[in-house]
C-alpha cells in the first residue's frame, strides 16, 4: 500500500485534464481500502478524499486537495444459476466493456446493448448506465458496498438502490457514504433480443447479419458508437455530458408547435423525454470549438478536449450551452458528468 504525493490525474480521467491530486493511492482488496481510509485521517481532512474508477464520468476543474483512491478491485465469477439465469459477480474495478465481452463469450445475455460504454463496473449501478433500450436495472441483482462510517460491507438489492434515469441512491441519500466493491448481475441463458432502439436494425442489415445473436448486436452497437462518439484515447471526452431532460406532455406540445422537428420519446409516467443533443445542435453548438475545448462535430451531447483544454474551459463551455438551451427552449439541461 503506497501513498504518493502531487500526482497528475491526466491518465486517470478520460477528458485528459492535467489536474493534480495532493495524495494518491490504489486499493486492490477491501482490506487495503479499509487500511487506506484509516490512514487518511493522519494525512488529510476526514472529508477530503474521493474514489476514482474509470475516470470516464468526471471533469476536474482544479487540483484535488486531498486523497484520491483508485478502485482496482478485480475478479469475475459465477455465483449461482437457475433454469433461466446465471448470476455473475464482478469487482467494481473491472472495465465495463471487457465485462460485457466476457458475458458475450460465455453466452450470457442481457448487457450486449451496453457495449463500449466507458468506465468501470462500479459505476454501472451508481449511474444506472443505459443505451439502446437497456438499463442496468434490467439485469441488476445486488451489489456490495463498503460503509465509510461503519467500516463494513453492506448488500444492496435492486429496490435498495432506487435506480432511475442515470440515477441511484448513491448519488443522493448515500452520496459519499459508501464505496461500491462488487456488482452481481442476473444474466439470461436464453437471449431476449432488443433491436428496436436507435439504428441497431439498420446496422445489422449493413453488417448482413442473417442469424441474430448477442455477439452481432454487441458488434452493431460498437459500430454505431464508434461512428459518432470520439475515442477518449484520441480525443479527450466523457461521453454524453448532459442528460436527456424530461418535460410534461403539454409543454412538449407547446414546444412542438414552435419547433416541429423537436425530438421526444414517451416515458412511463406520461411525460416526454427530449433529445438533449438535438436541443444543443439547434442552438448552433455542434462542432463549436474555442481553443482546445469543443462540442463534438458528430454528436452535440459530447464535449471534448482536443489537447490542452483546462477543466474550467470545458465547464465554461457547458455553462454557455446550458444558458442557450434555456433561452431558446425554456428547458433546463442537467450535466451527467461529475464536476470536481
Burial of 302 (0-12, 13-18, 19+ CB in 10 A): buried
| Residue 166 bears catalytic tag | yes
Q: Which of 32, 81, 177, 336 is catalytic?
A: 336
Minimal CA–CA distance to 318: which of 61, 28, 50? 61
Kindly state the cell numbers that stand for 235.
Answer: 480525443
Provide the strand spans (E) within 153-207. 153-157, 178-188
β-pair partners for 120? 95
Please tell me which residue in 240, 313, 318, 335 is annotated as part of the active site: 240
Identify the H or E element spanning 23: strand 20-27
> Residue for cell digits 464536476?
339
Of the listed 25, 40, 112, 166, which one is catalytic? Answer: 166
CA 282 vs CA 80, 177, 296, 335: distances in Å: 49, 40, 14, 18
Active site residue 336: yes
Q: Establish whether 144 is a catalytic residue.
A: no
Grid cell digits, residue 265: 420519446
Closest listed residue to residue 118, CA positions, set 7, 244, 222: 222
Rounded CA separation 59/97 (Å): 21
Which residues are identified as catalytic?
166, 240, 336
Amino acid at each position: 500500500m503506497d501513498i504518493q504525493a502531487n500526482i497528475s490525474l491526466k491518465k486517470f480521467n478520460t477528458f485528459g485534464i492535467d489536474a493534480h491530486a495532493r495524495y494518491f493511492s490504489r486499493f486492490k482488496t477491501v482490506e487495503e481500502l479499509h487500511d487506506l481510509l484509516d490512514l487518511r485521517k493522519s494525512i488529510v481532512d476526514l472529508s477530503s478524499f474521493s474514489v476514482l474508477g474509470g475516470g470516464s464520468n468526471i471533469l476536474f476543474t482544479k487540483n484535488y486537495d486531498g486523497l484520491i483512491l483508485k478502485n482496482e478491485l478485480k475478479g469475475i465469477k459465477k455465483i449461482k444459476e437457475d433454469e433461466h439465469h446465471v448470476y455473475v459477480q464482478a469487482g467494481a474495478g473491472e472495465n465495463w466493456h471487457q465485462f460485457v465481452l466476457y458475458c458475450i463469450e460465455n453466452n450470457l445475455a442481457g448487457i450486449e446493448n451496453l457495449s463500449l460504454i466507458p468506465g468501470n463496473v462500479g459505476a454501472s449501478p451508481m449511474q444506472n448506465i443505459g443505451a439502446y433500450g437497456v438499463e442496468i436495472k434490467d439485469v441488476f441483482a445486488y451489489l456490495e458496498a463498503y460503509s465509510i462510517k461503519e467500516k463494513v460491507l453492506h448488500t444492496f438489492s435492486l429496490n435498495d438502490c432506487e435506480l432511475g434515469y442515470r440515477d441511484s441512491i448513491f448519488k443522493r441519500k448515500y452520496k459519499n457514504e459508501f464505496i461500491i466493491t462488487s456488482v452481481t448481475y442476473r444474466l439470461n441463458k436464453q437471449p431476449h433480443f432488443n433491436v428496436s432502439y436507435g439504428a441497431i436494425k439498420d446496422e445489422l442489415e449493413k453488417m448482413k447479419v442473417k442469424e441474430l445473436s448477442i455477439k452481432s448486436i454487441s458488434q452493431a452497437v460498437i459500430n454505431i458508437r464508434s461512428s459518432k462518439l470520439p475515442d477518449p484515447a484520441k480525443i479527450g471526452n466523457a461521453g454524453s455530458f448532459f442528460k436527456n431532460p424530461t418535460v410534461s406532455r403539454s409543454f412538449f406540445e407547446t414546444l412542438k408547435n414552435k419547433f416541429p422537428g423537436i425530438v421526444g420519446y414517451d416515458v412511463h409516467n406520461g411525460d416526454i423525454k427530449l433529445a438533449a443533443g438535438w436541443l444543443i445542435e439547434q442552438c448552433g453548438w455542434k462542432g463549436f470549438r474555442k481553443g482546445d475545448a469543443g462540442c463534438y462535430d458528430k454528436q452535440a451531447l459530447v464535449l471534448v478536449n482536443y489537447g490542452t483544454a483546462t477543466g474550467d474551459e470545458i465547464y465554461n463551455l457547458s455553462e454557455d450551452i446550458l444558458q442557450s438551451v434555456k433561452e431558446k427552449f425554456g428547458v433546463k439541461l442537467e450535466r451527467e458528468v461529475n464536476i470536481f
